[in-house]
């Protein structure tokens, strides 16, 4: 999917996906409900203050891109809108529940770490542990029709790298993120649900080997 979505467009799509999952009885959304969702102060970053006229313009733009449609029918007193972003009958983009939850959260809150995505996306889908989030991110980064996410450079003071979506175009990334072998290794090491301790033990063992090799080089600089 070759898209260049703006921040406001991803906010509209993210809100429609979110409400479809969390409040299906109220979905599709009216213009007023969608505007309120876009301006919601919780689970949003940045917090926006869009008026209905602006949201209607965004809906019209997304409709031309075939990413949003109006649902009209008997009993609907006001127009209501639904997304066509993915998992539709005639659409080409298909995402698993976990992949959709991650993309939705990235649309709503911008770049996030796997830990943040696990806690925030659990209202949209089920993650047993952070390793499952990492495996889903690796899948999104390695898709043949993608990539759809990228790992960003680790910021000072952060223990984890953040991930960003690529539906708004390319993002400057670290060499680590640009190397597909990093994601392949991540996916390979990701254990099934309940295996997080095994993953941590393996990573500690790998780090111990690296530290031992560094100590040997320092103590024997001629080698």
Q: Supply the CATH number for residue 75's domain.
A: 1.10.10.10
Per the model's pLDDT, the better-predicted residue between 94 and 185 turns out to be: 94
197 has a pLDDT exceeding 60: no
Is 120 part of a structural domain of the chain?
yes
Residue 110 burial (C-beta neighbours within 10 Å; 0-12, 13-18, 19+): middle
Parent domain of 161: 110-190
Residues 180-201, mean pLDDT to the nearest whole number: 52
Residue percentage of the chain with pLDDT more than 90: 66
**Rounded Cα distance, 184 and 142, in Å:** 8
Is 195 part of a structural domain of the chain?
no
Mean pLDDT score across all residues of the chain: 85
Confidence class of residue 179 from pLDDT cuts 50, 70 and 90?
very low
Q: Strand, coil or helix: what is 101? A: helix
Is 178 part of a structural domain of the chain?
yes
Is 1 part of a structural domain of the chain?
no
Terminal C-alpha separation, the chain? 51
29-43, 57-71, 104-118, 174-188: least confidently modelled range = 174-188
**Rounded Cα distance, 114 and 87, in Å:** 24
CB 200 within 8 A of CB 206: no
Q: What is the pLDDT of residue 156?
A: 87
Q: What is the pLDDT of residue 174?
A: 45
134-158: burial string, b at 16+ Cβ within 10 Å, e else: bbbbbbbbbeeeebbbbbbeeeeee
**Rounded Cα distance, 87 and 132, in Å:** 21
Is 217 part of a structural domain of the chain?
no
The tens digit of pLDDT for each residue in 65-95 reads: 999 999 876 566 899 999 999 999 988 999 9
Same domain assignment for residues 114 and 64: no
Is 160 part of a structural domain of the chain?
yes
3-state helix, strand, coil in the chain (%, to 5): 50, 10, 40
Same domain assignment for residues 78 and 117: no
């Amino acid at each position: 999917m070759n898209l260049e979505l703006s921040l406001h467009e991803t906010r509209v799509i993210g809100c429609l996906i979110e409400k479809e999952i969390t409040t299906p009885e109220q979905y599709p959304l009216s213009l007023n409900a969608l505007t309120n969702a876009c301006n919601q102060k919780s689970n949003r970053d940045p917090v926006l203050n869009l008026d209905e006229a602006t949201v209607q313009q965004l809906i019209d733009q997304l409709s031309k891109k075939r990413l949003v449609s109006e649902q009209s029918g008997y009993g609907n007193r006001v127009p209501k809108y639904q997304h066509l972003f993915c998992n539709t009958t005639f659409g080409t983009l298909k995402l698993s529940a976990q992949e959709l939850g991650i993309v939705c959260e990235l649309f709503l809150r911008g770049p996030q770490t796997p830990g943040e995505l696990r806690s925030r996306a659990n209202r949209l889908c089920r993650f047993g542990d952070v390793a499952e989030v990492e495996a889903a991110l690796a899948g999104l980064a390695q898709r043949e029709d993608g990539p759809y996410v990228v790992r960003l450079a680790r910021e000072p003071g952060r223990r984890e790298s953040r991930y960003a979506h690529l539906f708004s175009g390319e993002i400057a990334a670290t060499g680590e993120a640009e190397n597909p072998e990093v994601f392949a290794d991540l996916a390979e090491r990701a254990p099934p649900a309940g295996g997080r301790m095994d993953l941590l033990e393996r990573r500690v063992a790998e780090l111990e080997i690296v530290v031992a090799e560094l100590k040997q080089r320092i103590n024997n600089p001629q080698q």
